[in-house]
Amino acid sequence: MSSGSNSDIDAVEFVQRLLNWLDGDDHDLSGDSLDDAFALLADRRRRLLLEVMRTYEEELTLPDAAEEVAVRETGNSVRNISAERVQEVYLSLYHDHLPRLVDAGLLEYDQERDLVAPDAV
């Protein structure tokens, strides 16, 4: 096996640890629950939104969250990201990613105030 980048090694190690954890008896996940969790985490933009919300640990306006997701996606400062790009991120969060995460109970959304908050669980 050839040596990969650190992120490849980290991914392999993560999968091995996850498989070892799944082999243990200290969890009560069904196959469907696991599939649902992986489906939620499969999209990078959803993972980034969750990361943003965990970083700030407070409610954010969806436009601010979209801006932060765009920053993390591009690796650029907000000054170097076009308004169109931020708008595209906002729309995809609003119409696709945020509803999925809210339905799963991972985030809360107040549409009237356009605020996203980490779930209080």
In this prediction, residue 1 has a pLDDT band, given cuts at 50, 70 and 90, of very low
For 91, list phi and psi in degrees, rounded to 5: -65, -40
Q: Mean pLDDT, the chain, as a whole number?
A: 87
CA dihedral 17, 20, 26, 27 (to 10 degrees): 80
Percent of the chain past pLDDT 90, that is, above it, reads 64
**Structure-token pair, residue 101:** 């995460």
- Where in the chain are the domains? 1-41, 43-121
Write out the CATH class of domain 43-121. mainly alpha
Give me the pLDDT at residue 36, please: 86
Q: Give the pLDDT score at 24.
A: 72
Render pLDDT for 17-62 as a digit per residue (tens, 0 to 9).
777 777 776 666 666 777 888 888 999 999 999 999 999 999 999 9
Give the pLDDT score at 30: 64
List Cβ neighbours of 107 (8 Å cut-off, separation of 6 or more).
Answer: 49, 50, 53, 98, 101, 116, 117, 118, 119
